[in-house]
Amino acid sequence: MVHLSQREQQLPGSAIESILDASAKDKRVISLGPGEPHFGLPPPLLAHARVLIATSNHYTAPSGLLELREAICKKLARDNKIHALPENVVVTTGSQEALLIATAISLDVSEEILLPNPSYMAFLPTIELFNAKPRFFALHEEHDFEPNPDEIKKQINQKTRVILLNSPANPTGNVIRRKIMEEIADIAVEKDLAVFSDEAYERITYERKHISMASLNGMQDRTFTFQSFSKTFAMCGFRLGYVAAPEEAAAAIRKTHLYTTICAPTLSQKLGIKALQLPHKYTDSMVREYARGRKLVHSRLNNMGLTTPLPHGAFYAFSNVKHLNKSSTQFALDLFRKEKVAVIPGSDFGTNGEGHIRVSFATELSLIKEALDRMERFTNR
C-alpha cells in the first residue's frame, strides 16, 4: 500500500477542480470560473512560435536566457520603476514556481509569513508544504478588500519574516493604493521584513494605477517581485514567469531551481523575448474587453442583490451571497446543478472568503450576459 505523507494529506481540497472538470464535460455549462484570459495568443507570438520550435529542444541555465532577463530588466525599469540587473532575475515555470522556491529559500520550519485573507488559493498550501507558519491579516468587504496596515502590524512577532501582498488581487479585484503601499513598506523597514509582491495581474487595471512595492523608497533590497506572462500576453499554457529579487536571494533561487524544473521551457523563454517587444496595444485591447465585462458584471450582480465591490484590477468580481446561503460552496454547487453556471466559492480563498463567490469576467460578453440571466433566475427563486 502506498504511504502518503501527512503534509500531502493536510493540503486543502478545492471546489474549483470538481466544478471546472464538470464544466468541461457538459456543453450546457457557462463557466465564470476561469482564472485565465479567454483570448488567443497575439498573432505575432503565434507566428513566432512556429519558427522557434525547431531550435528550442535544449535546456537553458536555471536563471533563464540572458537575453530574456535583460529584456525583463528593461521592462521592469520602464513599467514598474524597478532598477534590476540580470543577476537579480530568475525565470521560472510560471510565477507560481518562483513563489514556491522563494518560500523554500526564505522560511525555515515554524518561521512566519503574513498572508491576506481572502487571497489566492495557492498561497497557503505553498507555505504549508515547507512547514512554515502562515499568519493572516483580514481583508474586509466594507474597505473594498484593501489591506489595513494597522492589522498587518498587529500580526507581526519575533518569528515573522515575510509579508505577502497581491495587487491587483485574486480573488477580490482590489488594487492597493500608493498610500497604503507606502505604509506597509514603512512597516517592513521598521520590522526588518521581506515582502513577497505577487503582481501577476499588473497590466490589468482600470481606474487605479498599479504600484510595485520594489519601486518604493528603500524597498528594492527587501522585495521579491513576482510577475508573469500568463495574464499580460494570454500565455498561460506556456508557463512562463519570473522573480526579481535582491542579489543574494536571487542566487539562492537559481541554485534551488536546478532541483525543481531545472529551467523554464526554452520555447516559452524565447517567445517571452518576443512578447516583451510587442506594443502595448495587444494587452490594452484585452483590458478594454475586460472593462466591458466588469461593468456588466458589477451592475447586474448588485442589482440582483449580491453586494459586489467594483473591481479595480484583474478580471474577477467578489460577491456576497451570505443572505442566500452561508455556505459559498453549497451556493456554487446549487447554481451549477440548477442553472449550469460555474462560479468559484469564496471559501476556497480563505475563511474570510466564506459567504462570497468569485465571478470571472474573462469570458465572452455574450456568454457573461446569458450566465447573469441564469444567475438572476436562480437568485429570484
Domain match, 233 and 358 both: no
Pairing state between β 112-117 and 160-166: parallel
Q: Report the C-alpha gap between 374 and 352 in whole angstroms.
A: 27
In this predicted model, what pLDDT tens digit does every residue of 282-298 receive, in sequence order?
Answer: 999 999 999 999 999 99
Domain match, 166 and 127 both: yes
pLDDT of 16:
64
Structural domain contains residue 310: yes
Among the candidates 275, 305, 322, a domain finishes at 275
Cell of 34: 476561469
Please tell me whether the peptide bond between 168 and the residue prior to it is cis, using omega within 30 degrees of 0. Answer: yes
Structural domain contains residue 100: yes
Among the candidates 252, 275, 298, a domain finishes at 275
Q: Phi and psi of 346, rounded to 5°?
A: -65, -20
Q: Report the C-alpha gap between 229 and 240 in whole angstroms.
A: 6
Q: Report the C-alpha gap between 143 and 20 in whole angstroms.
A: 30
pLDDT of 11:
75
Structural domain contains residue 315: yes
The 316-320 sheet, strands edge to edge = 316-320, 356-360, 344-345
pLDDT of 3:
82
Structural domain contains residue 193: yes
| Coil vs helix vs strand at 166 | strand
Identity of the residue numbered 30:
I
Domain match, 137 and 238 both: yes
Domain match, 182 and 126 both: yes
Q: Report the C-alpha gap between 291 and 284 in whole angstroms.
A: 10
User: What secondary structure letter does DSSP report for 221?
Assistant: G
Burial of 4 from C-beta contacts in 10 A (0-12 / 13-18 / 19+): exposed
pLDDT of 251:
98
Among the candidates 248, 275, 302, a domain finishes at 275
Q: Report the C-alpha gap between 318 and 298 in whole angstroms.
A: 9
pLDDT of 4:
80
Of 291, 311, 260, give the one whose Cα is nearest residue 368. Answer: 291
Domain match, 221 and 320 both: no
Instruction: Give the chain's domain count.
Output: 2
Domain match, 10 and 119 both: no
Structural domain contains residue 320: yes
pLDDT of 145:
97
Identity of the residue numbered 355:
G
Domain match, 90 and 23 both: no
Q: Report the C-alpha gap between 257 and 278 in whole angstroms.
A: 28
**Cβ of 150: how many Cβ atoms within 10 Å?**
10
Of 201, 247, 219, 208, give the one whose Cα is nearest residue 95. Answer: 201
Structural domain contains residue 83: yes
Low-confidence ranges of the chain (pLDDT < 50): none
Domain match, 348 and 365 both: yes
The helix or strand, by DSSP H or E, that contains position 133, with its residue range, turns out to be strand 133-138
Domain match, 168 and 259 both: yes
Structural domain contains residue 28: yes
Assess contact for 112 and 135: CB atoms under 8 A: yes
**Cβ of 380: how many Cβ atoms within 10 Å?**
8
Ordered alpha helix ranges (H), the chain: 6-9, 15-25, 43-52, 66-75, 94-106, 123-129, 149-154, 178-191, 247-257, 266-275, 281-303, 328-339, 365-380
Structural domain contains residue 50: no
Range of the domain at 232: 56-275
The CATH number covering residue 83 comes to 3.40.640.10
Domain match, 289 and 243 both: no
Domain match, 260 and 285 both: no
- Per the listing, cell 515554524 goes with 110
Domain match, 265 and 291 both: no
